[in-house]
């Protein structure tokens, strides 16, 4: 009986770890001027998620501020939705789903910056959150805010725009500041 309990405990631990832990990648550059628009998603990109809800959940926390781990993050301006970033996010989630891997580096070796540029976005700063296994937008946004690195991406005032998508159980959020 103890052996079964031990196996079940390990399985549960692995499942929880896979569902909550995801990696962060950040290309650092200088911040750009403030953009206070929060344009709703245009609906021209099929993201396989509720883009309006994703934007609402993220911006609700950004405008209140929060603690990312032990770091107090002040309230910052809300993000605007960007369809080019959503395309980059969808392409990455689809790649991870199709090729059964979980990483910020694409199966062909492309980096986040390369993927966002390929989607037609001219950027000065980018970051990405990925996750796997969450059942809905609320669960994945909560997981990201509960992870210090992901939370810092979400609360970074340098980023002005966001795009997000999912394929299967693979979620991707891309953040960027446009070139001036």
User: Is the per-residue pLDDT at 7 higher than 60?
Assistant: no
- In terms of Cα–Cα distance, which of 143, 145, 150 is closest to 174? 150
Beta-sheet pairing, 161-167 with 80-81: parallel
Please give the domain boundaries of the chain with CATH numbers for all domains: 2-178 (3.40.33.10)
Count of other CB atoms within 10 angstroms of residue 168: 14
At residue 138, the pLDDT reads 98
> Average pLDDT, whole number, for the chain?
83
At residue 154, the pLDDT reads 98
In order of 85, 133, 160, the CA distances from 125 in angstroms are 12, 28, 10
User: Is the per-residue pLDDT at 130 higher than 70?
Assistant: yes
Give the start-end residues of each E strand in 70-156. Answer: 71-73, 80-81, 123-132
With cut-offs at 50, 70 and 90, classify the pLDDT of residue 38: very low
């Amino acid at each position: 009986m103890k052996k079964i309990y031990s196996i079940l405990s390990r399985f549960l631990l692995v499942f929880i770890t896979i569902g909550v832990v995801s990696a962060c990648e950040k290309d650092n550059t200088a911040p750009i001027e403030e953009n206070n628009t929060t344009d709703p998603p245009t609906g021209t990109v099929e993201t396989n998620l509720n883009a309006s809800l994703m934007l609402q959940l993220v911006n609700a926390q950004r405008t209140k501020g929060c603690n990312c781990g032990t770091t107090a993050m002040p309230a910052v301006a809300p993000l605007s939705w960007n369809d080019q970033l959503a395309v980059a996010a969808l392409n990455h989630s689809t790649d991870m789903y199709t090729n059964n891997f979980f990483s910020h580096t694409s199966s062909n070796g492309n980096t986040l910056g390369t993927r966002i540029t390929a989607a037609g976005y001219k950027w000065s700063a980018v970051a990405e959150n990925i996750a796997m296994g969450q059942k809905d937008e609320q669960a994945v946004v909560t997981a990201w805010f509960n992870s210090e690195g992901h939370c810092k991406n979400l609360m970074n005032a340098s980023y002005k725009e966001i795009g997000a998508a999912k394929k299967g159980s693979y979620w991707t959020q891309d953040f960027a500041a446009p070139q001036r």
